[in-house]
Structure 1
Amino acid sequence: MYIPVSPTDHPFLSLYSEGFVIRFYTTDGGSWVANFNLGDTTFHQVFDFPETDLTLVIAGGRGYVMNRNQVKPLSSFGGDLQMALRTPQGEVVAASATAIAILNSKGEQWTSSRLSWDGIKDLSLEGRLLQGYSHDPIDDKDEWVAFTVDLDSKQSNGGSYARYFHAEGSPKKTRRWWPFLA
């Protein structure tokens, strides 16, 4: 029998719902099977942190930070995660449609400010600099805009959202496309 795991204390709508199923092996030699409630994408991946008892399970785009000896998640995040990669330092970098989340082996998580309107692709690492492209559907070009995130300072540069809004959310002054209304 499996144990349903969800981001809240409420189980699935049906106890028999099929989620993302994982078997955990506990430190005392036992095991248990988890059925993770899915997020909103088709992306599934599991990252183990060998220096701790933590595991990151991404089930249908929702991230669950699990201790293999406990049946309840320590935390959960996302819902629309679309890709993830591991850094040489052991962190996991996960991308949603609009932002980046970083999780370390202690279970500490950081999420970037908004980088994209709707879509991130082509993530890569060059040293401690994360590079990628964010979608800009605002103008007629329908283009992908480069961005970077320094994994140490957590500073981001570029991205489609930064074209129109400051980091705190206030709009930037741009040229009006409706000058006849002025």
Structure 2
Amino acid sequence: MTTKKAYKILASLPVYGPMYVSVTESGEPFYSEGFPVRFYKNDGTEWVANFQPGWTDFAEIIEFEKTQNLLVIARGTCYIMNPNDTKPIDVFGVGYCNIFKASKNRYVFQDQIDLTIFEQDGKHWNTERISWDGLAEIKVENNLVSGLAFYPMNSAEEWIEFQYDLDTKTLTGGSFYSF
């Protein structure tokens, strides 16, 4: 038995058929082309969402193991969606540029100055600020996230190591509180 996918990422908004549904954090209509996705409802019907994008080029959809909800990453902004509903369950972020899988079915989203940890139950939280302006070489091993944080305050413009423990929510290193 094959299971039908609940969505399809589209190259552009369709020119024929029913009007797309704007999906935004505020609920206000969005008329420019954003991140278009076709959703297939349980009753066999379908609808097209036009997600208002964030500030990056990062776009992806993640399926969850124990629910039909999806995590739609629309160019840096995250939307938790149920394919049967046109309104998002939750919206967060605007500048995510990468995602990593961590232990306990968690995801770690990389922004330019901090991280967001997303739990399988839909809860999410941000770390404290780690960098003045940039994170690099991010690695996730079990419950530890490590990498480099940019420090532009001297002529060397150096990168300072950091480590973040997802379980204890403890930051070691980083550049934001270095001086």
- Please give the range of the TM-score, normalised by the shorter of the 2 chains: 0.7 to 0.9
Work out whether residues 53 and 69 of structure 1, in 8 Å CA contact, stay in contact via their aligned partners in 2.
no
Query: Counterpart of 1:43 in 2: which secondary structure?
Result: coil
TM-score scaled by structure 1? 0.81
**Within the alignment, does 1:53 sit opposite 2:68 as a pair?**
yes
Once the two structures are superposed, residues 7-60 of structure 1 have per-residue CA deviations (whole angstroms, 9 ceiling, x without a partner) of: 112121xx3x11011222333443322111011112212211121122111112
> 1: CA distance between counterparts of 2:63 and 2:28?
26
1:124 partner SS: strand
8 Å CA contact 2:100, 2:140 repeated in 1: no
Mapped contact 1:44–1:60 kept (Cα < 8 A): yes
Separation in structure 2 between the aligned mates of residue 130 and residue 9 of structure 1, nearest angstrom: 34
From 29, 35, 38, the equivalent of 1:11 is: 29
Matched, 1:64 2:79: yes
Q: CA RMSD in A?
A: 1.5
1:83-162 to 2 correspondence within 5 Å?
83-162=98-177
Q: Tell me how many residue pairs correspond in the alignment.
A: 161
Percent of matched pairs sharing the same residue: 37
Match 2:94 to one of 79, 82, 105: 79
Kept after mapping to 2: 8 A contact 1:93/1:103: yes
Relative to structure 1, the CA distance from residue 29 to residue 148 in structure 2 (aligned partners, 3 Å threshold; closer, same or farther) is farther
Partner SS, residue 177 of structure 2: helix
2:144 maps to a residue whose letter is L
Shift of 1:88: 4.4
Flag structure 1 segments of 5+ consecutive residues without an equivalent: 165-182
Change (3 A) 1:88 1:30: farther
Distance 2:104 2:48 in 1: 29
1:47 and 1:56 in contact (8 A); partners too:
yes
Is 1:35 aligned to 2:50, yes or no? yes
8 Å CA contact retained: 2:103, 2:143: no
Structure 2 unaligned blocks of 5 or more = 1-18
- TM-score, normalising length: structure 2: 0.83
